[in-house]
Amino acid sequence: MSATTYGWLVLAFPLIGFGINAVGWRVLPGRAAGWIGTAAIGLAFASAIGALVAILDKPVESRELTSTLYTYAAGASLDVKLGILVDPLSVFMIVVVSGVSALIHLYSVAYLASDRGYARYFAYLNFFVFSMLLLLLAGNFVLLIVGWAFVGFASYALISFWYRRNTATTAGMKAFVINVIGDVGLVFAAFFIFRELGSFDYLTVFAAAPQHFSTNQGVVIAICLLLLVGAFAKSAQLPLHTWLPDAMEGPTPVSALIHAATMVTAGVYLIGRTFPLFELAPTAADISAFIGLATLLFAASCALAVTDLKRIIAYSTISQIGYMVVGVSIGAYAAGFFHLMSHAFFKALLFMSAGSVISAMAGTQDIDRMGGLRKAMPFTAVVMVTGALALAAFPGTSGFFSKDEILAFAAHRGGFYWIFTIGGYIGALMTGFYAFRIIFRVFWGEPVAEARQLEHGHLAHAEPANPMTGEVEDTDVGFPGAEHHIAERDRPMWLAMAALAFLSIVGGAVQIPGLDDLITKFLHGSFLDSTLYEQLPSVAADWEGLGVGAVIALLGIATAYLVYVARPGTAAALIRRFRPVHTLLVNKWYFDELYDALVYRPAIAVGRFANDVVERVVVQGVVAVVVDAVRGVGTVVRGAQSGFVRAYALLLVGGFAALGLYFLIVSS
Amino acid sequence: VDVTWYVVLSAVLFAIGAGGVLIRRSPLVILLCLELMLNAGNLALVAFSRAHGNQEGQVFALIVMVVAACEVVVGLGLIVAMFRRRLPLNVDEMRGLRG
């Protein structure tokens, strides 16, 4: 089969899985829905591997394949097709996305087993994977926008999955609204592209752009900035990041899949996909890189202080996506996408481990209440340490090779790009610290009651409560219901986490500088026209960067060890010493409060004004006048409606007679 | 005979019918008077048709007959229904249309 056939199959399997689960939710017994969903994604992954093999058979210059199912709209100047583009970049992405998705589906099979919305969950999840793959395989901007909006909806549906929880539905709405801001940016960008170049098709647009635009022309910068609005909303970059920490209201595997490994990297994919435009607008690319840098530092600083386990990892996600955005914006495409892949592995792993820990703690997410779980759940402890090592870029892990390669590229690029190297290393120091803050707080220290119980084989149970507000949950929602599932006891969770732990460690082997550079070589087919792609730093410079990165990672980990294990009182002392800084970080730099004051309150005030003045006085006043007029006229005319049929007949005959008379008089 | 006589007869019949509709209270009689008005119209149509020497008026007359037949069916059906439900057979007492 050809690569494009595999591409269509990749889309078809999740859609079929979604259809079966969505229609058959009432009749599917036990865990059937979960296994159907997992099988669908597994088949999609197999097809993605098929596409990879098929595309590797072709010479590097001709690896951009398109295929069209049918034409939506064809006119004099409009040509929109339901078509896919299978090229090294999209194949790379679908392999990563479908692979990680398959493992997370596997994990969910056990993790959500006691949830009453089990089939609904898998229907949503399959729909999400379908939409994400559609976004990645789209061959034109129209189909991209379709996939983009679909993943936004899937994200909304899954954040609000426990719909009896008020905090969850609010978080879902927040995510949806901010994503729609991004959608608007993307739609406008597509509109401008069409107006300038007369096409929505990727390959046509990218071929025509260099002739049509001069470098840094106003319109191409505008297009790129609009694309960035879309990318930043989806990828939770400043200033559109506030939805992602709240998105942690969804089930933990959803956080792993959508809000860490796949959907939030769509913005990175978009920037990489439209690189010909960004290379024509270096100003926009630099803006993007600086925002990425600001985001990665900001989010890493928040992760230092937040105490909710899932929100720490969420801020870490924002920070790591900042690295990717810096990478693809400064031209380190291969390194950026390599980091996307390794991040998908270790961040999904961290979330899965967090899910296991939260289950063991009977739903508690606050790391202040955790401790000493190492003996009680050895497997979770080992894989979570693995994930944290990869996140902290410990030498030899996947995160080590990918993150430091971006920074090495920035150093090599010259000019002011050294800022990104320095900033990136500062971020890396914080990353090492907060990654092991989680580990030391959760697994080291004095075992808490739940941990001691679990050591004796009793999984803690508690009255289900909302981890944010402490309210008692409506157990009709299902989870967090009667059962909790931890990796030590559930084979599917164990399997998924073991696979990801393995990948987090060895995933870096695909791109060791000077040794194989597989990703650089493979993605080259998509970046043939790039002027920056081949400006790679020398192998020696790469290793220099890796060396510095290793030292910084170890420094961060060692500091965390010092603060949380060697001298346990240090953290509290630091908080007392730097009270204002801590307050700032715990409140996430007051972004939510800022938006509350800038957007929410003015909108409410306008709404109240419209209600009090426009609606009550103007609209209802006009309505009252009209109603009175109609009623008055009606009262007068009602007298004619006597109900006497013969009176009506008389009026009819009399009317005709009068009319006849009138015409007689007029005609004579 | 001059067409005028026919038209005069038609007008007289129509006036009788209209008067009946206005004056009488029994629905059955009102229906009869309606028929009278229709047939007065028919008479005029046929008379003009003959005076002009073509068939158009006669075609119209046929159509009016068809309409009249339909109307009688509906009208008689209504009257029978009124009778069956023991409603008063007096149009002045059927005042459901009063505003």
Read off the tokens for B89. 């057979």
Angle at B71 between CA B67 and CA B77, to 5 degrees: 150
Q: Cβ of B91 under 8 Å from any chain A Cβ?
A: yes
Task: Give the mean pLDDT of A573-581.
Answer: 81
List beta partners, residue A465.
A472
Q: Nearest residue on chain A to B99, judged by CA atoms?
A: A641
Contact A313, A254 (CB under 8 A): no
Gap between the Cα atoms of A193 and A204, Å rounded = 11
Give me the pLDDT at residue A644, please: 82
List beta partners, residue A555.
none
Per-residue pLDDT of B29-57, as tens digits, reads 999 999 999 999 999 999 999 888 888 88
Gap between the Cα atoms of A424 and A404, Å rounded = 9
Q: How far is CA A554 from CA A337, A389, A405, A546, in A?
A: 24, 10, 17, 12
Read off the tokens for A448. 């808490």
Per-residue pLDDT of B60-95, as tens digits, reads 999 999 999 999 999 999 989 988 988 888 888 887
What is the value of pTM for the model shown? Answer: 0.79
Read off the tokens for A578. 């730097």
> Contacts of residue A641 in chain B, CB cutoff 8 Å?
97-99
Torsion of CA A142, A147, A151, A153, to 10 degrees: 60
Q: Nearest residue on chain A to B23, judged by CA atoms?
A: A646
Closest CA of chain A from B51, distance in Å: 23
Whether residue A467 is predicted with pLDDT greater than 70 in this model: the reply is no
| CA dihedral sign of residues A375, A378, A380, A386 | positive
Sequence-distant (6+) residues with CB within 8 A of A603 are: none
Which of A639, A645, A653 shows the shortest C-beta gap to B94?
A645
Buried b (16+ CB within 10 A) or exposed e, A447-471: bbebbebbeeeebbeeebebbbeee
> Contacts of residue A637 in chain B, CB cutoff 8 Å?
99
Q: Cβ of B21 under 8 Å from any chain A Cβ?
A: yes
* Chain A interface with B: residues with Cβ < 8 Å: 637-646, 648-650, 653
Read off the tokens for A62. 């001709």
Task: Give the mean pLDDT of B18-23.
Answer: 90
Our measurement of the distance from residue A594's CA atom to the centroid of its chain's CA atoms, rounded to an integer in Å, reads: 23
> Contacts of residue B22 in chain A, CB cutoff 8 Å?
646, 649-650, 653
Contact A360, A495 (CB under 8 A): no
A26, containing H or E segment: none
> Contacts of residue A650 in chain B, CB cutoff 8 Å?
22
Closest CA of chain B from A625, distance in Å: 23
Mapped onto helix, strand or coil, the DSSP state of residue A276 is helix
Per-residue pLDDT of A482-495, as tens digits, reads 677 777 778 888 88
Contact A234, A266 (CB under 8 A): yes
Q: Which of A269-283, A501-515, A535-549 has maximum average pLDDT?
A: A269-283
Read off the tokens for A165. 């929880």
Per-residue pLDDT of A303-329, as tens digits, reads 888 888 888 999 999 999 999 999 888
Read off the tokens for A5. 């056939």
Q: What was the ipTM of the complex prediction?
A: 0.83
Gap between the Cα atoms of A182 and A190, Å rounded = 12
List beta partners, residue A308.
A366
Whether residue A269 is predicted with pLDDT greater than 80 in this model: the reply is yes
Which of B92, B96, B99 shows the shortest C-beta gap to A646?
B92
Q: Nearest residue on chain A to B37, judged by CA atoms?
A: A653
Q: B92, A642: Cβ pair inside 8 Å?
A: no
Residue type, B39: N
Buried b (16+ CB within 10 A) or exposed e, A300-323: bbbbbbbebbbbbbbbbbbbbbbb
Closest CA of chain A from B92, distance in Å: 6
Residue B10's pLDDT band (boundaries 50, 70, 90)? very high
Which of A641, A649, A650 shows the shortest C-beta gap to B98?
A641
